[in-house]
Structure 1
């Protein structure tokens, strides 16, 4: 299985930006945690950090053309205005799971992209990413089990 993880605007500053909300785990440390779990699950994982919504859209379409099995993403700063990202997610073959480190609903935010995903994981800090990896494996295994051979 091959997954694409997109980290949206401001995520490259994890560990520095608002540690009271996002903790002190850096982007580099998060990458190591997520890559380690992906490896344990037999997943090939590509990670992209971008502050530009168009770059995220292009990466997702490229992944779709290359046959990526699942898309994981934290829209971060694209949360409330990511219409192009939402439309992109509606267009691809692979399922997508949205990830947030904080409980965005508790913070008064709603996600514009949530309607285009199979699932939404929020509020578990760094563990949100590990849970998303495991959830995507479950989604894909369930789909495979239902598909005729």
Structure 2
């Protein structure tokens, strides 16, 4: 994955720590539909891409992935006191991950939901899932959502979350000052 240079004007120079969580089935990245998932060859390549983008943005990215809900729950519980926000691709937990959603909500930190595909698109849509749309159990408590843009969903969500963390009027002064 080639690096791209970009400029984003931030209102803070704070080096936020953003946790990026990839759920079940993301370990199969590179073996999945190129139409939906693009040319990313592996989960490690995706992690490196997001980490490098974060460095350019001036934030630290901590990646975590698991095919097991319990491991994801433990990570959220362990990380909540030290991270500034989360990006999560719930993947295989999108419709059934209530425990993970609750854990994220309990942190009271901002959460961006990300998906390679447009999970709301109907069957046959260009960036939709083969079986048609699904309803995420995460969306109604997420701070925001980016989907349908392959790995660019992560980059857009990371940019939006960083700018929101910098903006005291968006997330509240307590979060922006911490």
TM-score (norm 1): 0.92
Q: Could you tell which deviates more after superposition, 38-47 or 2-11?
A: 38-47
What is the alpha-carbon distance in structure 2 between the residues aligned to residue 144 and residue 42 of structure 1? Answer: 20
Q: Could you tell which deviates more after superposition, 48-57 or 97-106?
A: 48-57
1:46 matched to 2:62 = yes
Please tell me whether the aligned partners of residues 14 and 24 of structure 1 are also in contact (alpha carbons under 8 angstroms).
Answer: no
Give the match's secondary structure for 1:81. coil
Q: Could you tell which deviates more after superposition, 18-27 or 112-121?
A: 18-27
1:8 matched to 2:23 = yes
Among residues 128, 141, 144, which one is paired with 1:116 in the alignment? 141
Q: Could you tell which deviates more after superposition, 22-31 or 54-63?
A: 22-31
TM-score (norm 2): 0.77
1:34 matched to 2:59 = no
Structural mapping, 1:100-139, within 5 Å: 100-106=115-121, 107-139=132-164
Please tell me whether the aligned partners of residues 6 and 49 of structure 1 are also in contact (alpha carbons under 8 angstroms).
Answer: yes
Q: Deviations over 1:82-122 (max 9, x none)?
A: 11011111100321100001100003111001112100110
Q: Which runs of 4+ in 1 moved over 6 A?
A: none
Structural mapping, 1:60-139, within 5 Å: 60-65=76-81, 67-106=82-121, 107-139=132-164
Q: Deviations over 1:41-69 (max 9, x none)?
A: 1211111110011211111121112x200
Q: Could you tell which deviates more after superposition, 55-64 or 17-26?
A: 17-26
What is the alpha-carbon distance in structure 2 between the residues aligned to residue 143 and residue 82 of structure 1? Answer: 30
What is the alpha-carbon distance in structure 1 between the residues aligned to residue 27 and residue 97 of structure 2? Answer: 18
Higher percent of residues as strand: 1
**Structure 1: tracts of 5 or more residues without a match:** none
Q: CA RMSD in A?
A: 1.7
**Structure 2: tracts of 5 or more residues without a match:** 1-15, 122-131
